[in-house]
Amino acid sequence: MYDYGYSYGGSSLGSSIQGSVVWTAVALVLAIIGGIVVYFLFLKPNKKVENKFLSWIKDFLNFKKMLIEDILKVTYVILTIFITLFSFNFIGSSFLAFLLMITLGNVVVRVAYEASLMLIMIWRNTNDINKKMK
């Protein structure tokens, strides 16, 4: 007549945790096997790859193709547009807050992204010097 919320035969917390532990062990074993296979297929330094797509994968896995520069540029543009549009939120309450947000907000974001990109440029220049030294 009354349902007190007892679970009979359904999934319980114990079986959920047990399934999670089993899947974690399986994922760890598959990751180790996959890492070894990928190393011998793509990451060995003396391995030559003729296919253009496989060559791109090899360069990607060896970090010869860096994605962070493009990601930083896109996120900079998105964040700058957001700060500019968000600053209009303050125009009704305080014009000074609006001016500070639109100027200082964009300047702070610009300086932070320039510092990040400077590290990438240092890496690229060091990498070019290293290639020329060989």
> Which of 24, 68, 58 lies closest to 38, judged by CA?
58
pTM as predicted: 0.63
Q: What is the pLDDT of residue 116?
A: 93
> Which of 129, 10, 113 lies closest to 71, judged by CA?
113
DSSP structure string for 25-44: HHHHHHHHHHHHHHIIIII-
Dihedral (Cα; 21, 27, 30, 32), 10-degree rounding: -90
Q: What is the pLDDT of residue 62?
A: 81
User: In one letter, which amino acid is 121?
Assistant: M
Specify the length of the chain in residues.
Answer: 134
Q: What is the pLDDT of residue 2?
A: 61
For 34, 64, 90, 121, the CA distances from 48, given in Å and listed in that order, are 20, 15, 59, 28
Q: What is the pLDDT of residue 44?
A: 77
Q: What is the pLDDT of residue 17?
A: 81
Q: What is the mean pLDDT of each run of 10 residues along the chain (134 residues)?
A: 56 73 92 90 76 82 83 95 94 92 96 94 90 86
